[in-house]
Structure 1
Amino acid sequence: MTKHKFGGPWTRLKLAILRDYLGFFTRALGKTPFNLYYADAFAGTGKQSFDDESGQGAFFEHEDMEGSARIALNIEPAFDGYYFNDLAKPHYEALKELLKEYPEKEPITRITNLDGNDFVKQFCASLRSNDRAILFIDPYNTELNWETLTYVAGSNRIDLWLLFPISALLRMTPTDSERLDPALVKTIDRLLGTDKWQEALYKPKPEPVHDDLFGEVENEGMERLNVQEVSDFVKSRLEEQFAYVAKPATLYNNGRPLFLFMFAVSNSSRTAQKLAEKVSTQILRKHQNAR
């Protein structure tokens, strides 16, 4: 079987949070008239493999763990349908092999080999009024277009778990605005869904640089907001689209922020929002406190 070697200790946290919410979702809605679906835009292979630094020096402990697709297939009560997608052909083939372990679920599972953005749009368009879904978007880097999320928000039927690449955004937006690479501007526009991010993420440098001809102190140059402020901006962008957005869990690698694990609710029902808010907050707090 093709190995999906990607991740680190933060992967455990991400998948533990996802597992708990999937279990809540099918238990809470299992006896309702709704059809319940799980969709995974970057599903991998069903297994994640990574080297976990352990002990001293350069010793690494190899670890294999269930990936998101296998976790979803194992959840009880079960979903009414599953949608797995990955653009990488070896991952697509591995997902088909994985499904053979669950013959009873083959008739209700669709596996596709699409661009993640196209998959999300097609999945959102397929949902009907009696459907409810969890969508897991776990891109490898900056593959997700923010515009794709507007389809999710407009569905009114999806609870979204999104892994946002905060480390990539920080890397592309250097602290000093003068070091910003013009070649990356379009990528950042696409990632954040706006060309106004420079106004939001950069502020004048606080320290005076020199006196002008009239003896007045001037500030020159712009500097980027700190990590927390950048994260807050990303959350605010999601809040412009979704009815409810939880405080994200920041996933770290060697002490550096790598991803924001974000939860958002598209359902316009205040009752549904309050329940999702209560449970997601409990789950996020539980796992972050256990780190």
Structure 2
Amino acid sequence: MAKQVFGGNWTEDKLNRVRKYLGAYATIMNKYNFYYAYIDAFAGTGYREIKETEDKDTLLFPEFSDIAVQKFLDGSARIALQVKPRFNKYIFIEKNESKASELNQLRIDFPEFNNDIVIVNEEANKYLKDLCLKDWKYHRAVLFLDPFGMDVKWNTVELIAQTKAIDLWYLFPIMGVNRLLKKDGNIEEVNRNKLNEIFGTTDWYETFYQVRGEQNLFGFYSFTEKTVDGKSIGQYFIDRLKTIFEGVTENPLLLYNSCNSPLFLLCFAAANKKGAKTAIKIAQDILGK
């Protein structure tokens, strides 16, 4: 599992890796008779904007204040529109109405794509469910899942795999998961349900915790103990992806903050059996750089 320590260009590095894949993907797909799209499930405004004066106490994850060195970046939406060869369609999903409205600026800034940009103001899981259930025989896509929190449900990921047509880049929230895993295993029901939804199973508990026993002055007693760290959580998720996708990269990129705490896992999975070998080879090369 590769490691990327945060150092100023962390967010840009992540997006540049996706940019490289989009260019390689479009070059290959341009030779075939498929209608192919780029899908961004959490498009935001099209920009990545971090305020340097962000108050750590107001952040969901205070560690993200490290990203303040990146004041203003092109988001994944704008990066996709700059890739050549171009995609046939660009679908940008954003559930926040005001942010979705701001995405209309893309049509002004990229007028040549005006008729091929679709802006969807809807919750990502709901829209992707409907989209994945369509006929994908003559269609292909690259989907970028870059949620801030734990917004992606496993049943959505399953539907993506079942299309047999979508290549998936997923920025999996390692820190978000790890924060819910109490050391003593006493996890509130609402948080257990969140973890069940993101992993698509309840088996994670037996994997992440062990019951141990000790002898003391008053006799033998047992207790539950957390036995995983960010890296092993990431490996568990990769193993879950392997149960439903045709191919999954073996070298996902762990993204760390300046305190050496893992934040996200940038991973890749290919749903199409015929194209998976090539897709994985390209993605693994990009992730390994």
With structure 1 as the length reference, what TM-score do the two structures score? Answer: 0.85
- Alignment partners' CA distance in 2, 1:120 and 1:167: 24
List alignment gaps of at least 5 residues for structure 2. 1-7, 54-65
1:82 alignment partner in structure 2:
90
In the aligned structure 1, how far is the partner of 2:20 from the partner of 2:273?
23
Q: Give the corresponding residue for 2:179.
A: 171
The answer as to whether partners of 2:172 and 2:267 remain within 8 angstroms in 1 is yes
Of 193, 207, 214 in structure 2, the residue corresponding to residue 208 of structure 1 is 214
Identity of aligned residues (%): 31
Please say if residues 178 and 229 of structure 2, whose CA atoms lie closer than 8 Å, have aligned partners that are also in contact.
no
Structure 1 unaligned blocks of 5 or more: 1-7, 287-291
1:59-98 matches, cutoff 5 A:
61=69, 63-98=71-106
Q: Residues 175 and 230 of structure 2 are in contact (CA less than 8 Å); yes or no, is this contact kept in structure 1?
A: no
Higher relative contact order (CA closer than 8 Å, sequence separation 6+): 2
Partners of 1:263 and 1:146 lie apart in 2 by 15
**Match in the other structure for 1:183:** 190
117, 130, 133: which one aligns with 2:141: 133
Q: What is the number of equivalent residue pairs in this alignment?
A: 267
What amino acid does structure 1 have at the position aligned with 2:276? Answer: Q
Which structure would you say has the larger Rg? Answer: 1
Distance 1:113 1:43 in 2: 10
- SS of residue in 2 equivalent to 1:221: strand
Shift of 1:127: 4.7
The answer on 1:261 being equivalent to 2:269 is: no
Q: Secondary structure at the match of 1:177?
A: coil
- CA drift of 1:209 comes to 4.4
Match of 1:252 among 250, 256, 278: 256
Q: CA deviation at 1:182?
A: 3.1
- SS state at 2:206 partner: helix
Aligned runs of 1:20-169 on 2, under 5 Å?
Answer: 20-50=20-50, 61=69, 63-169=71-177
Superposed CA RMSD: 2.2
Aligned to 2:223: 220
SS in 2 for 1:45: coil
Q: Using a 3 Å threshold, how does the CA distance of structure 1 residues 164 and 119 change in structure 2: closer, same or farther? A: same
Q: Using structure 2 for the length normalisation, give the TM-score.
A: 0.86
CA distance in 2 between counterparts of 1:159 and 1:26 reads: 12
CA pair 228-62 structure 1, distance change in 2 beyond 3 A: closer
Letter in 1 for 2:141: A
